[in-house]
Amino acid sequence: QQQVKQSPQSLIVQKGGISIINCAYENTAFDYFPWYQQFPGKGPALLIAIRPDVSEKKEGRFTISFNKSAKQFSLHIMDSQPGDSATYFCAASMVGDFPGNQFYFGTGTSLTVIP
């Protein structure tokens, strides 16, 4: 059973446009929601993350919006650039180090930004 559902599977955006990727989760025990960015030939790398005590977090052109009641969160990329073309994964976890704590990843979104 997919713990985190991600959409869309692929996304094509014009340069300068806004890219939006959505994720939903079921387990209310999750309290940490990161986004990972993966370029071809590389492993994923942490892009931005949020905890449910805030509804939005912004870092440069990247913003996470979080809706706790709906159990949804999304990544917005403003002024999308060709260099943003990558695969994006949302994830959910619980804060803290204990055996069994793991990250649950979405299925990924392949973003292509065309010039």
Query: What is the spatial distance between Cα 42 and Cα 6, in angstroms, rounded to a whole number?
Result: 21
Nearest to other proteins of 60, 100 (CB atom): 100
State in angstroms the smallest separation of the CB of 65 from other proteins. 19
Nearest to other proteins of 29, 69 (CB atom): 29
List residues binding other proteins (CB under 8 A): 6, 9, 32, 34, 36, 41-46, 49, 89, 93, 95-97, 99-100, 102-103, 105-108
Spatial CA neighbour of 67 closest among 102, 38, 6, 24: 24
State in angstroms the smallest separation of the CB of 99 from other proteins. 5
State in angstroms the smallest separation of the CB of 110 from other proteins. 9
Question: CA dihedral in degrees (102, 107, 30, 80; nearest 10)?
Answer: 120
Query: What is the spatial distance between Cα 57 and Cα 40, in angstroms, rounded to a whole number?
Result: 26
